[in-house]
Amino acid sequence: MSQDKNNKIVGLRGMNDVLPTDAHLWQHLEAAIEGLVRAYGYTQIRTPILEQTALFKRGIGEVTDIVEKEMYSFEDSLNGEQLTLRPEGTAAAVRAVIEHNLLYDGPKRLWYTGPMFRHERPQRGRYRQFHQLGIEALGFAGPDIDAEIILMCQRLWDDLGLVGVRLELNSLGQAAERHAHRQALVAYFENHKDQLDEDSQRRLHTNPLRILDTKNPALKTLVEDAPKLIDYLGAESLAHFEAVQSLLKANNVPFKINHRLVRGLDYYNLTVFEWVTDQLGAQGTIAGGGRYDPLIEQIGGKSAPACGWAMGMERVLELMKEQQVLPEVEATCDVYVLHQGGETLTTAMVSAERLRSVGIDVVLHCAPDGQAASFKSQMKKADNSGAALALIIGPDELAQNVVQLKNLRAQAPQEAIAIDQLVDVVIERLVSLDE
């Protein structure tokens, strides 16, 4: 028992802590996301982390890697419900839209961020708990919204200063067209069955389109020579795809048609796309999505068109680090308050609260051992905080009813300020430093 108590408990593999040293990177990315969705008129939706397992089986597709191998699913011991930690956000967002009848007054542009969970092998930027930005446009049928959500991605890369992120594009057509292509695929792969790996043989008759998404390099040539879905698309599907391409070209967004691009989820139709990079190893996709018109009806709602995309936030942060497009670490405060304990601490704390009340960020020195440190050691903390000003309150200042104000970022004499004038003077000094 004593040995158990002494064992260090560590986090789960693939579920990482975000430490203070990286917090500013996350905040920078989150600020860019908030600016992006505001620019395009998207409003936020938040869904629970836990959903019924049936939602993902029906929405994502039972014969997919996510459902077959990666979901964290369990039975609720209290009521026997089958529950799953969400592996992606689209099915949950669509469930919420249906349940709350959000399309009753017209189409909706929605966005969300949050943790998702997949039991896969952790690797650079890919974890078992990961964070995702999701963009969902529901109720729009035209190619214009397909192009818009792709343009959103391009704008985000530009805003973050990322380069070399390539757009790959394809069309999955409609159900009847995919059915005809499926029959041709099955016949083709049947003729080469001896070359298929175990996973592809298992999927040959259940979901042959997934074979095109294989990561097995030994199947590369076989897959490249397989029948292409675009050859089975009808006039309407082709026109939709051409319109998307035309809008992207008009906005100077380069892209490559990738006929093997099928995405890993069953709910897609027509436009699908991925944004890829060569700088993060073999798993180079950092964002992807497309049109998923069948999903709303598939989950139980009234049929309505929809499209969207999702981005792995850890993947993008890794790419930002790789390309060294990182934000500067911001100062933790505007003012750092030094004191010598006792009555000087009381005055220091009252002064700090007065400054915070007018919107000034303040750090009050607190000694780890509860004993007042020397002003010299406190001043080192003040410098390291990035504060613009230091507020010094010692016994002498207390006796004179003043505080000492020191400019930490410019050469200027230290000045004594009457306590009742403190707020006005600090505001004045901070404004002058910003000019």
| Residue 398 in tokens | 């207390």
Using an 8 Å Cβ cutoff, are 138 and 97 in contact? Answer: yes
Torsion of CA 156, 157, 161, 163, to 10 degrees: -170
Closest C-alpha among 338, 432, 328, 431 to residue 380:
338
The CA radius of gyration of the chain, in Å to the nearest whole number, is 28
* CATH topology match: 2-173+233-323 vs 335-426: no
pLDDT at 186: 86
Using an 8 Å Cβ cutoff, are 369 and 414 in contact? Answer: no
CATH of the domain spanning 2-173+233-323 = 3.30.930.10
Region for 370 from its dihedrals, namely left if φ exceeds 0, alpha if ψ lies in -120 to 50, beta otherwise: left
Give the angle subtended at the CA of 132 by the CAs of 148 and 65, to the nearest 5°: 100
Query: Domain spans of the chain?
Result: 2-173+233-323, 335-426
pLDDT at 1: 44
Using an 8 Å Cβ cutoff, are 314 and 127 in contact? Answer: yes
**What is the full DSSP assignment across 9-71?**
P-PPTT-----HHHHHHHHHHHHHHHHHHHHHT-EE----SEEEHHHHHHHH-SSSHIIIII-
Specify which residues 308 forms β-bridges with: 136, 290
Domain 335-426 CATH (choose: 3.40.50.800, 2.40.128.260, 3.90.420.10, 1.10.10.10): 3.40.50.800
Question: CA separation (Å) from 377 to 24, 90, 366?
Answer: 26, 52, 12
pLDDT 10s digit of each residue in the chain, 435 long? Answer: 445 667 888 989 989 988 988 999 999 999 999 999 999 999 999 999 999 999 998 888 777 778 888 899 999 888 989 999 999 999 999 999 999 999 999 999 999 999 999 998 877 777 899 999 999 999 999 999 999 999 999 999 999 999 999 999 999 998 888 889 888 888 888 888 888 888 888 878 777 877 877 778 888 888 888 888 889 999 999 999 999 999 999 999 999 999 888 776 667 899 999 999 998 877 789 999 999 999 999 999 999 999 999 999 999 999 999 999 988 877 789 999 999 988 999 999 999 999 999 999 999 998 777 677 788 889 999 998 889 999 999 999 999 999 999 999 888 889 999 999 999 999 999 988 876
From CA 305, how far away is CA 248, in angstroms rounded? 21
Q: 0.75 cut: is pTM over it?
A: yes
| Residue 244 in tokens | 């998307």
From CA 202, how far away is CA 86, in angstroms rounded? 26
Please give the helix or strand (H or E) that residue 189 lies within, else none: helix 175-191
From CA 413, how far away is CA 421, in angstroms rounded? 18
